[in-house]
Structures are given as structure tokens and as C-alpha cells.
């Protein structure tokens, strides 16, 4: 098991990554007043595990899915916390994927102006990305993550045992953030390129988890609250990904990130940010993770959601684009120019 320290200004965080992390969480919280937040999918699979790891701990079980990541879900958690008579020394345990981590984290930040928080991610995406870094949020009025806070967990426990029950779509979801990291960090990128045929093997993905966490930890340490702009790099592929996710739904967040990376490689190439050969390399890597890019006949309608992206400043649409191996660039496009590129997704492809 690897231990990765995240030294942020607001609160240091320690990540335990590897076999035995779940048991380490149980031992860490022994004697504490724990409160578990999870969802119906995870509870169906791991209710006995939760009871064994955190005996006697009250739990809040929410409906599963991104569409429940809203103020109703948030206030359900807060109400259950109040019913359980939690206090500031109590520990909220976010036991689930990215949606649960985001909502439970925000509830921990709000309740009594802050309770203790531990993340126990059970999906590949949450283990390699969303559980680390302290971003918490809910969606509101059709805008992703618009109500939220930066609130660091004191511990993150990433145990690969939970990945064994993931459906194929959830594995692809995690691949979106892994491929993104590989484009931003050349060490991770080289490992992915050298083992591209293993990109759907859980054993290899578990190896990559700690590498992805280390990269993100380094970014978060230097720019915890996106004040310097460095942390924006983690939004590579997310402008288009989020816009399509809000427009169309159905697919997972990570799948939309992969689609966003694919389209935004055309933007990077067309706007002179990267060489055509590198844009093609990006697209080839994306297709290793998601062999078919779906057609979106109404893709241009995603513009209205992209205009609400938090990275924007002014009337344009802001992007983090691939520049070269391990490098990126920020670019703002006029809305009509971005609509032109969105139409690529509406074209017929073989």
C-alpha cells in the first residue's frame, strides 16, 4: 500500500492507495463517531462491508446517479447528520463514487461550518481523481458543480478491492481521467503508451492509480483553490465533456471527458495550439479507451452549457487544450467559433 501526502494550505491530506486501504480506514476511525454516506448501488453490494468496517455507524443511503447530485440530495445528508446528532469532531465517510464524494464532502464542509471528512472511493474515477483535491459540489439549475466549496478530506482510502465489481461503463468512466492525466504528465503518458493493450485490465489500472494521484496531489499543493490558474489544467477535455453531459446525459462523466478530449484535439490542431501529428496521437489514445466516438446530431446545442463553464471570463468559451506530451495551453474561443467545432460531432463517421 502506498501512502501519498497532500500538503495544502487549508488542511493536509493523506492518501492510502492499495490493498488493505479499507481495513486501514476502519482502524483509523476506531473510536470516532463515524457517519457513512453512500448510494443504493454501493449499499446493495457492500452493506455488510460497511457494517463490518464501521460497526454501529449511522448511514445515509441516497439514490444512485448524477441526476441526484442536487440540493435535495445535499439537504437529505444534512438532515440525517442532524438526526444522528453529529458534532464537529464527528467524521463523515464518503463511501462511493464521485457523486457521493462531491455531495458528502460539501455536507461535511457546511455542517456546523465544518466536520471531519474521510473519502473512501469505490469507483475507478473517484480513486484516480475526484476523491483527491478537496473539490465538493452539487449541480443546480442545470449547471454542473455550481454550488460547492474547496474542503480537503483528512484521509483518502483507495482500496482496489472495490473495483472488482465495477461494470464496464464505470471502468471507461475512470479511463477518461486516466487518459487526461497521461496527456498532462509525461511519466503517466509514457506508461499508458507502452501498455496501451492493457488499458482495460484492472491490474494495470490499479498500478496507474497511485501515479495519477501523485500528479494531482502535486498540482493541488501548488494551486489548491485555482487561484493561480495551474489547477485549471485538470479540466483538460472537460469544457466539451461537461457541455455534452448536461445536454445529453445517459453516458458517464468519464466517457464524456474522453469525447471532450477527442473533439478538443481538433480545436488544438485547428487553432495552432499543437501539431497535427500530436492531435492525431491524442485521438488515437482516446480511441484506445473509447473505440467509438458517438455522433451527436444536436452537438451545437451544447454551446449554451459551455457558456456557463466556470473557467470562462467574459463572453468567450475557455479551454485547456493539449499542446505536446506533458504540456497544455489555455485558449478562449468566440462562441460561434466553438459552435463550428461542435459540428464535427454531428458528422457521420465510420
pLDDT, tens digit, for every residue of 314-341?
889 999 999 999 999 999 999 999 999 9
pLDDT at 350: 66
- Per cent of the chain over pLDDT 70 is 100
Question: In this model, does residue 228 exceed pLDDT 70?
Answer: yes
Q: What is the pLDDT of residues 33-61, one digit of tens each?
A: 999 999 999 999 999 999 999 999 999 99
Q: Look up residue 257 and give its three cell numbers.
A: 471527458
pLDDT at 349: 76
Q: Is 340 a catalytic site residue?
A: no
Options 9, 113, 141, 292, the catalytic residue: 113
Strand-pair partners of 96:
121
Q: Is 226 a catalytic site residue?
A: yes
Options 66, 154, 186, 226, the catalytic residue: 226
Q: Rounded CA gap, 177 and 286, in Å?
A: 11
The pLDDT of 18-44, averaged and rounded, is 98
pLDDT at 314: 84
H helix runs in 195-237, sequence order: 202-222
The band of 133, judged by pLDDT with boundaries at 50, 70 and 90, is very high
pLDDT at 315: 87
pLDDT at 57: 98
User: What is the H or E stretch that residue 107 is in?
Assistant: helix 98-110
pTM of the predicted structure, to 2 decimals: 0.93
Strand-pair partners of 328:
322
pLDDT at 209: 95
User: What is the H or E stretch that residue 183 is in?
Assistant: helix 168-184
Q: Is 231 a catalytic site residue?
A: yes
Unique residue bearing C-alpha cell 480506514: 25
Q: What is the pLDDT of residues 241-267, one digit of tens each?
A: 999 999 998 899 999 999 999 999 999
Q: Is 238 a catalytic site residue?
A: yes
Options 214, 253, 310, 311, the catalytic residue: 253
Q: Is 310 a catalytic site residue?
A: no
Tell which residue, 73, 166, 185, has the closest CA to residue 127: 166
* CATH class held by domain 2-165: alpha beta
Strand-pair partners of 62:
39
Q: Is 298 a catalytic site residue?
A: no
pLDDT at 143: 87
pLDDT at 348: 79
**To the nearest whole number, what is the mean pLDDT of the chain?**
96
3-state secondary structure 142-160: CEEEEEEEECCCCEEEECH
Per domain, the residue ranges of the chain are: 2-165, 168-346
Angle at 313 between CA 232 and CA 104, to 5 degrees: 50
223, 229 contact by CB (below 8 A): yes
317 phi, psi to nearest 5 deg: -110, 125
Domain 168-346 matching CATH 3.40.630.10: the answer reads no
Q: Look up residue 272 and give its three cell numbers.
A: 495552432
Q: Is 70 a catalytic site residue?
A: no
Options 238, 251, 310, 311, the catalytic residue: 238
Options 41, 116, 235, 251, the catalytic residue: 235
Question: In this model, does residue 311 exceed pLDDT 90?
Answer: no
Q: Rounded CA gap, 130 and 107, in Å?
A: 16
The band of 142, judged by pLDDT with boundaries at 50, 70 and 90, is confident
| Four-residue CA torsion sign, 138, 252, 190, 287 | negative
Amino acid at each position: 500500500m502506498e501512502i501519498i501526502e497532500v500538503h495544502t494550505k487549508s488542511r493536509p491530506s493523506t492518501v492510502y492507495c492499495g490493498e488493505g486501504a479499507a481495513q486501514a480506514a476502519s482502524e483509523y476511525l476506531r473510536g470516532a463517531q463515524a457517519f457513512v454516506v453512500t448510494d443504493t448501488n454501493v449499499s446493495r453490494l457492500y452493506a455488510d462491508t460497511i457494517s463490518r468496517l464501521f460497526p454501529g455507524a449511522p448511514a445515509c443511503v441516497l439514490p444512485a446517479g448524477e441526476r441526484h447530485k442536487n440540493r435535495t440530495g445535499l439537504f437529505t445528508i444534512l438532515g440525517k447528520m442532524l438526526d444522528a446528532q453529529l458534532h464537529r469532531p464527528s467524521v463523515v465517510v464518503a463511501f462511493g463514487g464521485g457523486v457521493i464524494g462531491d455531495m458528502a464532502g460539501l455536507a461535511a464542509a457546511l455542517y456546523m461550518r465544518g466536520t471531519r471528512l474521510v473519502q473512501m472511493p469505490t469507483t475507478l474515477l473517484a480513486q484516480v481523481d475526484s476523491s483527491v483535491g478537496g473539490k465538493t459540489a452539487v449541480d443546480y439549475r442545470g449547471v454542473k458543480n455550481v454550488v460547492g466549496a474547496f474542503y480537503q478530506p483528512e484521509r483518502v482510502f483507495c482500496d482496489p478491492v472495490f473495483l472488482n465489481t465495477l461494470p464496464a461503463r464505470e471502468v471507461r468512466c475512470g479511463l477518461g481521467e486516466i487518459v487526461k492525466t497521461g496527456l498532462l504528465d509525461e511519466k503517466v503518458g509514457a506508461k499508458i503508451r507502452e501498455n496501451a493493450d492493457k488499458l482495460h485490465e484492472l491490474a494495470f489500472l490499479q498500478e496507474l492509480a497511485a501515479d495519477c494521484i501523485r500528479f494531482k496531489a502535486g498540482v493541488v499543493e501548488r494551486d489548491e483553490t485555482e487561484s493561480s490558474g495551474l489547477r485549471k489544467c485538470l479540466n483538460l477535455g472537460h469544457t466539451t465533456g461537461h457541455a455534452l453531459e448536461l445536454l445529453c446525459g445517459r453516458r458517464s462523466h468519464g466517457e464524456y471527458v474522453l469525447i471532450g478530449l477527442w473533439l478538443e484535439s481538433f480545436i488544438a490542431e485547428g487553432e495552432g495550439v499543437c501539431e497535427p501529428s500530436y492531435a492525431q496521437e491524442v485521438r488515437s489514445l482516446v480511441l484506445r479507451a473509447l473505440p467509438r466516438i458517438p455522433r451527436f446530431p444536436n452537438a451545437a446545442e451544447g454551446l449554451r452549457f459551455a457558456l456557463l463553464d466556470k473557467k470562462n471570463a467574459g463572453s468567450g468559451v475557455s479551454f485547456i487544450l493539449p499542446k505536446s506530451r506533458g504540456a497544455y495551453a489555455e485558449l478562449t474561443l468566440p462562441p460561434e467559433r466553438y459552435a463550428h467545432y461542435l459540428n464535427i460531432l454531428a458528422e457521420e463517421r465510420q
